[in-house]
């Protein structure tokens, strides 16, 4: 095999964290060195800096960092006292953590369907899920829209339902921090917004991490207490049952440096997504942005005709091109969640999407030569 052939077959990373690391270079080394010098590894000064800069980025009054995106979802539910007898409306076409935190809080997830074009929570199905909750003897207390794959949900439609039903809105922006809806950044559209800084996310750290955003002073204060075992005036005065949910200082230091280049990376992600869509729209159903929304493209997910996905994935794998399926099983059909209620009429869109979606490599450092190789392979696998 000659050198050109080897390059053409070289494995492509699905998400190239190493390329970003090379770009950041000594900035990360220096940030970590500062933490090692002051040795304040828990709630050190970089945590406060990260929180202030995250809040300023999205326009929220408060950013509360925490240990993971899952904790970021759990803390607001705990702070609002949501628990047994309460129903929380969740989309089923998402990662299980959205519903998991509801069950962990002692409440009941009630699953709703998603829109076929955006993969996000369908307000009509959410209303039917509220009816299903009542029929099961639950009091609908909250709704968790998910901004899936980087694109905001229909927040106007969800807010209207929430006002009518008196629901707490917890926006799950684990994949979408940095996106905008009607010229407003995610982080200010719900009563609280949770995000994740898992390394594969558009804005990630070098381990686990998350944050909650809110404009509610009392809610913010309660969540700050809950993330440190429910502490009151000091750590030996617990005024509520909490958890160990702090972000460590090292991850906060990394986050501060990554946030500096995040706006440029969002531009790059959008450029890459536009090239994908232009090149693949005639052979697959490509993602569509809703009106007045922007995406950070946590995933670039296309839809293929039923029965084509496995063959395409296998063909790409032979050429060193990885793919992923988000999600092969909607949450409501997974063993741990089958017992929970679903919206009237079922969730046919979620079940259909699970058979059709496939995600292609996406990150801010995907160069055009590599992207063209991916595009050519997809088209060839589809006979085009």
For 154, list phi and psi in degrees, rounded to 5. -80, 80
Identify the pLDDT of residue 143. 98
Strand, coil or helix: 243: coil
DSSP 8-state class, residue 239: -
Kindly report the CATH number assigned to the domain that includes residue 331: 3.90.1150.10
The 10 Å Cβ neighbour count of residue 29 is 11
The tens digit of pLDDT for each residue in 315-359 reads 999 999 999 999 999 999 999 999 999 999 999 999 999 999 999
Q: Is residue 343 part of a domain?
A: yes
Q: Domain of 227?
A: 21-113+120-257
Within 9-85, strands assigned E span 62-66
Asked which of 224, 257, 290 is the last residue of a domain, the reply is: 257
Strand, coil or helix: 241: coil
The position carrying tokens 């309460």 is: 86
> What whole-number distance in Å separates Cα of residue 173 and Cα of residue 288?
18
Do 111 and 332 form a contact (C-beta atoms < 8 A)?
Answer: yes
Are residues 351 and 219 both part of a single domain? no
Q: Which residues of 222-245 are buried (b: 16+ CB within 10 A; e: fewer)?
A: bbbbbbbbbbeeeeeeeeeebbeb
Tell me the whole-structure pTM to 2 decimals: 0.96
- Residue 88 pairs with which residues in a beta bridge? 109, 142
Asked which of 239, 257, 275 is the last residue of a domain, the reply is: 257
Q: Is residue 4 part of a domain?
A: no
The 10 Å Cβ neighbour count of residue 126 is 27
Asked which of 257, 285, 310 is the last residue of a domain, the reply is: 257
Are residues 214 and 127 both part of a single domain? yes
Q: Which residues of 310-344 are buried (b: 16+ CB within 10 A; e: fewer)?
A: eebbebbeebebbbbbbbebbbbeeeebeebbbbe
Do 29 and 23 form a contact (C-beta atoms < 8 A)?
Answer: no
Average pLDDT value for residue range 119-125: 98
Which helix (H) or strand (E) is 124 found in, with range?
helix 123-135
Are residues 253 and 282 both part of a single domain? no
What's the total number of domains in the chain?
2
Do 21 and 29 form a contact (C-beta atoms < 8 A)?
Answer: no
The 10 Å Cβ neighbour count of residue 34 is 14
Report the percentage of the chain scoring pLDDT > 70: 98
If you average pLDDT over every residue of the chain, what do you get? 96
Kindly report the CATH number assigned to the domain that includes residue 105: 3.40.640.10
Reply yes or no on whether the pLDDT at 4 is more than 70.
no
Q: Is residue 14 part of a domain?
A: no
> What whole-number distance in Å separates Cα of residue 47 and Cα of residue 293?
30
The tens digit of pLDDT for each residue in 53-63 reads 999 999 999 99
């Amino acid at each position: 095999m000659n050198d050109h052939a080897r390059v053409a077959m070289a494995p492509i990373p699905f998400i190239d964290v190493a390329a970003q690391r090379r770009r950041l270079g000594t900035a990360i080394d220096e940030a970590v060195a500062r933490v090692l010098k002051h040795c304040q590894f828990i709630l050190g000064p970089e945590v406060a800096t990260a929180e202030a800069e995250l809040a300023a980025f999205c326009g929220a009054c408060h950013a509360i960092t925490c240990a993971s995106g899952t904790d970021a979802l759990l803390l607001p539910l705990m702070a609002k006292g949501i628990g047994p007898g309460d129903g929380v409306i969740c989309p089923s076409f998402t990662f299980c953590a959205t519903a998991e935190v509801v069950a962990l809080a002692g409440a009941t997830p009630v699953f709703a369907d998603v829109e076929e074009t955006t993969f996000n929570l369908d307000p009509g199905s959410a209303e039917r899920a509220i009816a299903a909750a009542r029929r099961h003897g639950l009091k609908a207390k909250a709704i968790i829209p998910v901004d899936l794959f980087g694109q905001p949900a229909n927040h106007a439609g969800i807010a209207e339902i929430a006002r009518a039903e008196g629901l707490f809105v917890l926006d799950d922006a684990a994949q979408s921090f940095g996106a905008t809806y009607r010229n407003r950044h995610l982080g200010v559209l719900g009563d609280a917004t949770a995000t994740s800084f898992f390394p594969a996310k558009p804005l990630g750290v070098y381990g686990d991490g998350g944050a909650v955003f809110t404009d509610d002073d009392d809610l913010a204060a309660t969540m700050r207490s809950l993330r440190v075992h429910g502490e009151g005036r000091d750590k030996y005065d617990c005024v509520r049952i909490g958890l160990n949910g702090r972000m460590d200082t090292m991850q906060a230091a990394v986050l501060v440096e990554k946030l500096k280049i995040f706006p440029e990376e969002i531009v790059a992600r959008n450029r890459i997504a536009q090239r994908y869509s232009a090149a693949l729209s005639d052979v697959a159903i490509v993602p569509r942005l809703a009106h007045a929304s922007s995406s950070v493209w946590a995933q670039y997910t296309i839809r293929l005709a039923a029965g084509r996905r496995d063959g395409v994935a296998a063909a790409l794998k032979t050429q060193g091109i990885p793919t992923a399926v988000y999600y092969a099983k909607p949450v409501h059909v997974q063993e741990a969640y089958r017992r929970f209620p679903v919206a009237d009429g079922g969730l046919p869109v979620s079940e259909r999407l699970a058979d059709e979606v496939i995600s292609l490599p996406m990150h801010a450092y995907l160069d055009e030569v590599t992207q063209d190789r991916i595009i050519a392979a997809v088209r060839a696998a589809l006979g085009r």
